[in-house]
Each structure stands twice: as C-alpha cells, then as structure tokens.
Structure 1
Amino acid sequence: MDEIKTHIEHLRKQLDEYNYNYYVLNSPTISDIDFDRMMAELQNLEEKYPEYSDPHSPTQRVGNDINKSFTQVAHKYPMLSLGNTYTKDEVVAFYERVRNGLNEDFKITGELKYDGTSISLVYIGGKLVRAITRGDGVRGDDVTDNVKTIRSIPLQLRGSDYPAEFEMRGEILMPWSVFESLNTERERQEEPLFANPRNAAAGTLKSQNSAVVASRNLDAYLYYMLGENLPTEDHYENLQLARKWGFKIPEAMKECYSLDDMMDFISYWDENRKNLPVATDGIVFKVSSLRQQRNLGYTAKSPRWAIAYKFQAEKAVTRLNSVSYQVGRTGTITPVANLDPVQLSGTVVKRASLHNDDIIQSLDLHIGDMVYVEKGGEIIPKITGVDKDARGENIMLGERVKFIKKCPECGTFLIRYEGEAAWYCPNEFGCPPQIKGRIEHFISRRAMNIEGLGPETIDLFYHIGWVENAADLYTLNENDIAGLERLGEKSAANIMRAVEDSKNVPFERVLFALGIRYVGETVAKKLAMAFTNIDRIISAEEEELIAVDEIGTRIARSVRDYFAQERNIDFVNRLRNAGVQMSLSEDRILSQTDILKGATIVISGTFSHHSRDEYKLMIEQHGGKNTGSVSAKTTYLLAGDNMGPAKLEKANKLGIKIISEEDFLRMIDK
C-alpha cells in the first residue's frame, strides 16, 4: 500500500508541475494526450483508494456537477475599491497628495488594471483553504470549490519560504479567445450572449456547478499580498517572491521613482494593452512601501495610497435608430439610444445612454443620425457627438429627438425639479418600475442582502399581487413560493431563510434600504449614529438634521418629505413589526460618548498606535468632528511624526492647541 501512496503523490507532484509550466509560465513541457493519461490514472487511483484522497489534488480542478449554494464569509481585511482618475493631471494630483502626506521619499508600483471579477485567496501552510469574492467589501461568497478549477491558481505553493498564513488578491479573468468561443457557442444554442469578458467571468465564478466553471477556462492574475508576517515591507518585492511560489503575477509591472516614470508607463500601455490576451481598462499606481501605505490610510471607500487611471475610451460611429425611455426606482426618466450594432472595446454595442434632456438638446439628435459612441471608462456606452457632415447624403434622416412628456410606463405627466437635469415621474406609488425598483434596492447586497430574490422574481411576485412594497416580503409563504413553476421547494426555502436573516441587518443599512432620495450608505450611517433609532429621525426637525456632519438642506428636506408621507410611516412600522432592526445595537450606542462634543480636530502626520483612519473613527465615536484643514474653528491639531509644516505653522499662528496621539488617547480615556 505504501507503493500506491507513493505513486499517487508522485503523480500529483508531476501534474502540479505540468500545470504550473502550462498555465503560469505559458511553457508546456508535456503533450495534452500524456497529461490527460496521467490525470485519468490519478483519478482512478483516488477512486480506488479513497483513504489517500486530498482536497488539494490536481484532480479537484475538473470540478463536479453537485449543485450548491454559496456561504457568505467575512473578509479579514476589507476589499475596498480604488478611486478612479481619467486624466494625467489627476495622476499628478495623486502623486502630490502622497508626497505631502508622507514628507519622505517614496516609490510607486505601476500595474495594469485588469477587467475581471475580484477574488481573495487565503493560504494556510502553503495550501489554498478559501477563495472569497469581493461581495460588499466586508463579506463575500465562498467560491473555493469553483476557484480550485482555475489551473493558474496554485492549490499547493512551491518552495517553503512563504508566510504561515496570508492572502493573495487579484482578478479572475476570461481571456478574449475563450469569451469569443463561448459567445459563438451560446449564439448557436440560441442562448443569451455575455456582454463582455468581465460579466462572463463573474457569472461563471458564481455558477453552482463547478464542472461548468472548469469547462470555461478562466484565468487569474494576482496583484496584492496581505498578512501579518509578510516576507518584506515592499509590495513589489512581495509580488516577485509570490511569483516564485507559483502565483501568476503579471509581467506588466514597473517600479516608478518619479512622475516621468509613471507617465511613461501610461503612454506605453495605452497603446500596447490592445495586444494583451485579457481585457484591461486602466492602470493602477500603488505606493510600494507597506509602512507608508499604513500611514497614508484610507478614505471611507478607497485607500489613499493607490489610484486607478482609466484609459481613454475607444470611439465608434454607428446609426441611431430610435430612443426609448427607462424609469428608475426614484422616478428618474433615462433616455436610451438604440443603435445599429457596432464593435467597441471588445464588445458589441447596441444601446447607449443619453443621460437627460439637456444632453439630447445639446447634441441636436435626429433619428437616423450617424453618431459617435464611446464607453465611459470603457464600461457604459454613451453618445458623445453627431457626424453632421453625413446628414447631407443621409436619406434615412428622420425627425429631431424630443424628450417625452409622459411616463412611458404609467402615463403620468413628467416633472422637473428646480436645479436638476432629470425629468421624473411623480407617480411613485402607482408606477410599476418605481415600485419594483424600490423593492430591488431594498433586497440588494449593500442594503438588506436578501439573496434568492432578483428582478425577475420580484417582477413575478408583483404581477401575482404578493408584493407592493418591501414590507410584503416578510409576509410571504414558503409553500406558496414552492408551488410556483419557476421556483420550487429549495428556492422557496432559500428565499425564506434570506428574508429571516435580513432581520439581523444593522440599523444603518436598514435606513439605506428604505430608499430615501439622496440618502446613500454614508449618509445613512451618519444619521444612524447621530439619532440612534428610527423614531428620533422621524421626529427630527430640519435644523436638527442639518446639524449632523455632511447633512445639508437638500438631504434634510428629503428626509423630512419622506417621513411626512403616511404611506412611508406605515411601511416603516410594518418592517418594525416584522422584526427588522430600527435602532442601533446597545453595544454600538454604549461605545459612543460626547467627550469630544463641539471639538473640531485636524489630523496630520504618521502615528505609532493607530492609523489616521482609526483616529477619525474615534473622533466621531466620541462626538467630535474631523476636518482636513486648519482654520480658526479648529479646536485641536492631532500631530504625528512627519506632519505637514504648513499645518503646524498655521496652527501656531492661530493659537490652536497641538496634541500628541498619547494626549488624544488620554482625552478619550483609551
């Protein structure tokens, strides 16, 4: 039996080596026939001797057809998005912000921005133990079984000098050649086509059949390492080590020591990216030093030490055939141009946004016009101009495009609010797209995160008469859902479980889920922390709302208008009675104090005990306000090492009290 075990381990080692040579080094060292023969032999031996099975065996890459749902997992480190720039001037501004924030020499790593679906890979003891999608940045789906089928992702690392536990992050990609073949086959089978490789990769990764994932030939480019004990304090050097361990690290990387280096990197790849086997939509610049990354910290949504430069969009010319109009959840009417199909940035474009009435009028559009189409950031197609020279010979030129006067869904006359470009349908409680749109917003991942429901299911429930607003979701009956032809018992159970789980969603996300105009995630969090429960927000006067940081007159009036409607109060009460959270938890409330009430604090420099972002949270938690610049209204300047001399000079000139981080921690008794 020892001979069998030894032979199985030998086959695994050999197949891993062949996989690495083929999928990572792009240098095959064995024929496909011989590889398949060895794989078949290993599969037969593992079936015959299950006591020698191993979840990291190369045979796990073929997937299986077991249907499964995904478990949500919290990220150890949040997966934030990057701030986007579209001009070189904005890259210069980023560089200057970094220089002013650090006050010391620094190096930038330039990388390509790959247009795929983000993934986080967790390795313990050199073995892949978990793969998690971005999700909402805080929690994602565990897609480990599917990721194991991607042959460029190592299941067992090479060498022995890797950390005991760490994460690698990157993009799951579908190469252009695979994407085109897949769409050709789907067209032959009369199935809907994927819009672009990114959507195809994301849809494939979330397939509940890992054998399907294995058949799609996805690839993965890794570009960031996280952990407590990384081999070096330099991002670029860590990636070079990761390459030795078997990770597919892109070759398109450059260490930049100046702005000129960064501009050269942009110029080169703006042209040469078109020759790559996968989709790219820009460049990412990162401060290389991990220590400097920590000191620069994060904004609410993105790191200050990295930025994405988006390539200028490709343009194409095609014919405008008609204009249709879509109704959003807040009643916004969006005009959409219907075009002759045209190839643009690797995809076929048939529709493009016209944004609003002002844009239509400025373009002087006529049906039949030849129009210039581009992708904003290479994602959303839009019309940017008209080829008016082509009108003289265009016998198909039709009437001038005029914005509609009535809602295309319910026939209500449209209105336009002062100071806004959009037209709205005011029939918010009787217009079907608005009703369904609010429910779709409510169940979305960043709001109540009710999985199992989507636009099609919401549309079905609405037409049956089961839901007229999101509160109706909490009165659904599992047996009724299971009786529907398109769903069944398993889907019904999943929906009911997700609805029940949503009752534990924290109050600030419930407030966001209500869909109050202008109340996004950040504003919802501010309101929740300031008032702690829904009743205090309902009864708050406009002046009280405006007193909250970042809440202006427009938002305050929108909140007041929302709760002035009896329908909305009834909606909130129904959610409350169903068990949805309508106040902050006791722990969250108890952690707040008013020690810093009335204090305005400016943070500058680098710190030993906590990051700047952590100090900002502490200031807010204890009733203070954080601002970015010193003024006569500043109470304290929280000064760290390498602080900006201009802020120090201004603080001294104005007589602002300067405190150290030790002083600050004593102030809040921490």
Structure 2
Amino acid sequence: MKNDRIAALERLIKKYQDSYYNGEAEISDAEFDLLWDELRSLDPGNALLKKVGADGQGPDPDGFPKARHLIPMGSQDKAANPEEFRSWAKKMGMETEKEGVKAETSLTPDLFGLTKIFLVQFKLDGASLELQYEKGKLRAAVTRGDGVTGDEITHNALAMSGVVAELKSPFTGGVRGEVVMPHEIWKKKYPDKANCRNAANGIMRRKDGMGCEDLKLVTYDAAATGDDAYFTDELEKIAWLKKQGFETTDTKTFSDIEDIIAYRDEIAAKREKLPVDIDGLVIKDRATDMTDLRRARPEHQIAFKFELETAYSILRQVEWSESGATYTPIGIVDPVRLAGTTVKRANLNNPDMIRAMGLKIGSAVSVVKRGEIIPKIEGLAPEGALEEGEEKSEIEFPSKCISCGTDLIDGGTRLYCPNAACPKRLVHRVEKWVSVLGIMELGEKLLARMFAKGNVRQIGDLYTIEAAELAEFERMGEASAAKVVRHIRTKRELSLAAFVAGFDFEGVGETIMDKVAAAGIDTLEKLREASVADLAAVYGLGDITAKTIADGVKECSAEMDRILGFNIIAIAPPPSSDSIPLKGLSFCFTGELASMKRNEAEEKIKTLGGSAKSSVVKDLSFLVTNDTESGSAKNKKANDLGVPILDEEEFLALLKNPQLAGEYRNKGH
C-alpha cells in the first residue's frame, strides 16, 4: 500500500506541477504542499523531491521563447508546524528566549554582527518571475519553468505594476519576485477564477498580454552576474531593491525562535485582511550565501507554513467516484473557504466511514485538508457549530457498476465491481503496471487515448503496439511514438513482488508480496500452487489479503504467461546462497542516477540479496548519491551516523564486484 501511495503521489505532483507552471493551477499551494509533504514522509529520497517545476519537454503550448535563469529558481524546504521550524532554526544557530532581542523594523541593521539575525518575509502566493538586467536596462522577464529554464514574457511583464524597465544603477544580473493579483481586483474582475494565484498565473502567460495591467510584481531577491560579493547582506539587498524602485515583500528581522513563531500566529490571524495572498513566512539567514542560493533546495532558508484549517459545512449530496473497480464516496457540501480556496467537495473514504460517523444528507460536518487531493470530511461538526435543517435523509449507495452493469459488492472498507472484464478495472490495472515499471513516457492521458482507440485492453497489449499506431495520435509524431515503444520494450528483470504488484490486486503492493516471497513462496509456480491457507499463514497477512492474492493470481494467470512470453519482462529467480552476495546490506538513494532509474537500481539490489531503504537510519550500509559533498539532510545524517556514502561509479562497481563492500565500508565514504 505504501508503494502504491508513493506512485500515486508522484503522478499527482507531476500533474499539478504541470498545471501550475504551464497554465492555471488546479489546486491551491496548501493542497500541493500536503501532497509534497506526504511524499517526503513516505519516501524522503524520492527523485521527484529534488526536481523543480514542469518537465519542460516538448513545445511550449503558448508559443513563448525559452530563456535560462540567472538566479536558480529552486524550491524551499518547508516547516509545517512550530516543532519542525524549531529543529531547523536550532541547526542554523538561532537562539531562543534571548533577553533584549526583539523584532526590528524592516530596515534596522543595528543588531547585525552582534547576534545571529534572520530575515522573516511574507511568502507570497503567486507566480515566480525573474527580471534580467544588462547595465541597468531590462533585457528579459522569465517565468519559473523547470527552475533552470522558463518562458520569456517580457512584453507581458512590462504591463504589470512593479516592473522597473530601467534601474537607477548600471546593474547586470537578475531580480526575482512574485507576480500577484490584489484581492480587490480579483473580486471585481476575476471572480470566476478559483483564487488570485490561479488568475495571475493564467493572465501572465496570455499571448496577447490582456489583463497583465491587473497584476503586480513584488520582489525579494537579486544577484549580480559574475559577482557573488555584490550583495553580502539580505537586509541591504531589500534596501537596494527599494532604492531601484521595486516594491518588496514585508520584511522583519528576528533572532529569537519563539518570537518568529508568535509572529507567524499573528500574521496567520489577519492574512485574510491582507491586500494579497500569502501562504506562510520565509525565514532566511541575513548573510547572503550565493553557494546556498544555487542549490536546488537552499539550506539557509525555509518556508514556515500556516496551520491547516478546519471548516464546518452541511452535507448536501454524495457522489461516487470511480477508480478502477472501486467506488469512492465524495461529499458535496455548502461552499466554505479552506486553505485559500472555495471548497464544495470533500472525501468520505469508504462505506464503513459513512456508517461509523452516522452521516446523513443534511448533517453538519467538519472539513479539513490532510494530504488528499480534495478536502476530507473528518466527522460531524461540534454541536452548535452550524444550524442544521430539520429534515435529513439516508445516503444511498450505488448498487450497479456504471461501466459494465455488474452488481457492486460492499466490502465495508471498499465498494467495488467484481467483474474482471470491467473496462474501468482494466484501465486501472494497466496504469498500475506502468507505474510499477516506472515507464514515465506512458502517462495517464496517453493510456486513455490508447484504450479509447482500442490499441490496449490488457497489460500484454502494451508489448504488441507499434510506433506507427501511436504516431497517428494527435501531437504525437513519429519520434515521440518510437521513444514510447522503445521504453515499453526495454528488457526488465523484476522481483516476484514487483511483478505481482503490477497486476493491481486490491490492497496488495510490493511490501506484502515481499513478505510472501520471504516466507518461501518465492516463485510464480509456488504462488500459483499456494492455497489461501498457505498465504494466510505468512506473517502479516490475514485471510482477506490471502484470498485476494490467490484469486488475483488465478484470474491473471493467462495474462502473466502472455507477458512473460514476449521475453521482455522476466521474473528474477529467488536468491540462493550463491546469488545473494549483498545479503545483510542495505542501500538508500538520494538524487537521480545517470545510468538507471532508482526503481531499477533497487531491483538490482534485491536480486543480489540486499535491501532498499527510503531513509538514512543507523543500520544503513550505504547511501548512494551523485553529489557526495552535498549538504543535504541525508548526507548530513549519513555523516553523523558514520554511514559510507558512495557515488554512482562506486555503486555500479559494487554491483559487479560485491566483494568491494568491505573495502568501501572501511574507507569511510
């Protein structure tokens, strides 16, 4: 289940990054942050956490020319609560309860040099923009894009307030800010947009530039080309930006941890009354550090987010969303404001949750955001929180599958269609297979088109499709089609656990199948012969999961043989005493590998008897990274714990010659 959720989070984050950076965002920053935070908690070393922005592949749909940034537009680490912020602040050398040190106004440098000072700025909820200057004259305005390259929208930027065409000094370099839309303008002219950020992001990318006069740029950073010493003090940088004619984000200085936490609470209480949207505070070291700024995720600054909100509303209706064979209840509530967006839909999880909460149409409910794509109904609202109507009605559960007409089964934690040939179920299974194998070129939209045209109905159909068939799809092209087919047909050796997980048995992921294999049911033949009782005897499995596995293997047996018959996918043999040279060794990865994807590296480790971990722990054998000198949290923890750090070249050498393990551990990488 954990691996399934990680794969789902990866797909969602990529989808919402694309909509954020290349159009109008579909969800709020707060909602996106929850998805990001959940992925980080489940898989701290996930490569996606190291990337910024959209993929940047293919032609720009809006036709803007591309340009490289002068200031790297990386992402910030985030603190979701005071405890996480305290942990970061103490690492940075900030003190607490220091007498006589209080918040100063935005341009008071008196304390600089006497104690550790940090800038605290509003975290603006808009769209990032870099202004590029040459000898004081604006040369280009570039959107965030993928963090390295963005769209050049200079014409649109010049129509915004706050954009300075010619500076008062002959500065060559970049100025960074956030494009925002004031609440007043949004209410008057763009109430059809979900929020100010969505409106700003869409307008600034209009080819005709219409509406850009309704936007303004608020700045917070600058860097001179070829001169890292141009700015040495972040507070002086803010003063310089103001002198050049820029509007800057609200800035204060602090040296006490608890003062910053109290200031956050103060701002959170009045954020709705501010003229523009903010979604937290940014805390950064006052001393300018260009080396840190160039990192994909700078270490000397952090976004201190506001707390999650709870809202109360009335449940008016329940809709049932299909995901594969499963029907998930979605509550339709009276509109409420939550985390910067208007909420009308909230997750209800499953039939048992509805029954346990005693929900009815007309009930007053508590709505929160806990990392779901949409908000979640957590229960009934406190008594007296809302005035309820007198008439309430029972929630009706669907009885038949709308895709195939089969009677649905209410399993309590799941309402589902049992028909193995249900079209929705088949689509979901192929999506799961693609996810387990990590075939990034096969997105959900492309798979949907392949199903709609009849190219694919089962997993095995992927291995018969030809590039000429895909090239007929709109905007595909021969080169792209050939690339997709090439990646589908790349030979892969999977563990039994990964192979079975790809068939999308309900609630059965790689972790569960690893337990099955470890119990001695470690080949497909043994799995086919295993009874429900045999599987239920595996530690950590129950009767329901055992039956799910047994029924699933029986149902998919022919399809499994068909896939293996193409000689593209192979199941790795169970490790023997001679083939497990990495037994007892564990590996954690951080960052991307050049020679293979992370899931491939983990499979190679498993076939040699080793194990893959998602975080750096005391008994970890090796951390693998291509940036061994990075100051990342994983690298720091590995150094603190004495865990050897390998680069990719050393890791590949170890795969070929496992005897190197002892040498590497003694070298103290």
What band does the TM-score fall into relative to the shorter chain?
0.5 to 0.7
Does the C-alpha gap of structure 1 residues 130 and 335 become closer, same or farther in structure 2, counting only changes over 3 Å?
A: same
Is 1:368 the equivalent of 2:349?
no
**Secondary structure at the counterpart of residue 285 of structure 1:** strand
Deviation, 1:259, is 0.9
Closer, same or farther in 2 for the Cα pair 1:379/1:219, shift >3 Å? Answer: farther
Q: State whether structure 2 residue 424 is matched by structure 1 residue 432.
A: yes
Local SS of the residue matching 1:210 = coil
- Residues 1:354 and 2:334 aligned together: no
Q: Which has the higher helix share?
A: 1
Matches of 1:502 and 1:123, distance apart in 2: 41
Does residue 69 in structure 1 map to residue 63 in structure 2?
yes
> CA separation of 1:128/1:261 partners in 2, compared to 1, >3 Å: closer, same or farther?
farther
| SS state at 1:239 partner | helix
CA distance in 1, matches of 2:566, 2:188: 50
Residue in 2 aligned with 1:178? 185
- Superposed, which structure 2 residues align to 1:322-337 within 5 Å? 322-328=317-323, 333-337=327-331
Instruction: Report what 2:121 is aligned to.
Output: 111
Cα deviation, residue 386, structure 1: 1.9
Matched, 1:289 2:281: no
Taking a change above 3 Å as real, the CA distance of residues 321 and 571 of structure 1, as seen in their structure-2 partners, is: farther
Cα drift, residue 365 of structure 1: 1.5
Query: Does the CA contact (< 8 Å) of 2:292 and 2:299 recur in 1?
Result: no
1:49 corresponds in structure 2 to: none
Residue aligned with 2:121, SS: strand
Structure 1 equivalent of residue 332 of structure 2: 338
Partner of 1:222: 219
Question: Normalized against structure 2, the TM-score is what?
Answer: 0.56
1:365 is paired with a residue of what secondary structure? coil
1:2-81 alignment runs, 5 A limit:
68-70=62-64, 79-81=73-75
2:158–2:165 Cα contact (<8 Å) kept: no
Q: C-alpha displacement at 1:350, in angstroms?
A: 1.9
What is the CA distance between 1:333 and its match in structure 2? 4.9
- Matching of residues 441-452 of structure 1 within 5 Å: 448=440
1:389 positional shift: 4.1
Once the two structures are superposed, the pairs formed by residues 161-200 of structure 1 within 5 Å of their partners are 162=171, 164-166=172-174, 168-184=175-191, 193-200=192-199
Which residue identity does 1:165 align to in structure 2? G
- Give the SS at the match of 1:211: coil
- What is the aligned residue count? 484
8 Å contact from structure 1 (residues 324, 336) kept in 2: yes
1:232 Cα deviation after fit:
2.0
Distance change (3 Å), C-alpha of 1:198 and 1:151:
closer
Give, as a single letter, the amino acid of the residue that structure 2 aligns with 1:435. V
CA contact (8 A) 2:327 2:416 kept: yes
- 1:573 and 1:180 map into 2 onto residues whose CA distance is 61
**Residue 277 and residue 369 in structure 1: after superposition, are their counterparts in 2 closer, same or farther (change >3 A)?**
same
- 1:287, 1:434 → 2: CA distance? 52
Alignment equivalent of 1:307, drawn from 279, 302, 309? 302
How does the TM-score come out when normalised to structure 1? 0.55
Correspondence for 2:452 among 454, 463, 484? 463
Q: Following the alignment from structure 2 to structure 1, what is the Cα–Cα distance between the partners of residues 397 and 115?
A: 55
What residue identity is the alignment partner of 2:167?
Answer: R
Q: Encode CA deviations 1:108-127: one digit per residue, 9 max, x unaligned.
A: 22122222233444444443
For residues 178 and 61 of structure 2, the distance between their equivalents in structure 1, rounded to whole angstroms, comes to 24
Change (3 A) 1:637 1:143: closer
Partner of 1:152: 161
Q: CA deviation at 1:280?
A: 1.8
Task: Give 2:424's aligned amino acid.
Answer: P
How many Å separate the matches in 2 of 1:197 and 1:125?
34
Gaps of 5+ in 1: 1-65, 185-192, 482-491, 505-509, 515-532, 543-550, 578-582, 604-608, 618-625, 639-663
Correspondence for 1:394: 389
Cα distance between partner residues in 2 of 1:318 and 1:354: 14
The alpha carbon displacement at 1:337 in A equals: 0.7
Percent of aligned pairs sharing the same letter: 22
Q: Give secondary structure in 1 for the equivalent of 2:248.
A: coil
CA gap of 1:350–1:262, structure 2 versus 1, over 3 A, is: same
Q: Distance in 1 between matches of 2:596 and 2:454?
A: 40
1:309 aligns to what SS in structure 2?
strand
Aligned to 1:233: 232
The offset of 1:570, in angstroms, is 7.6
Runs of 5+ unmatched residues, structure 2: 1-59, 96-113, 500-508, 525-551, 570-591, 599-604, 611-618, 647-663
Higher relative contact order (CA 8 A, sep 6+): 2
Show the counterpart of 1:276: 274
Cα 1:314/1:289, change in 2 over 3 Å = same
CA deviations on 1:206-261 (whole Å, 9 max, x unpaired) are 44x2333x4562223233345652422333332332333343321x2111211133
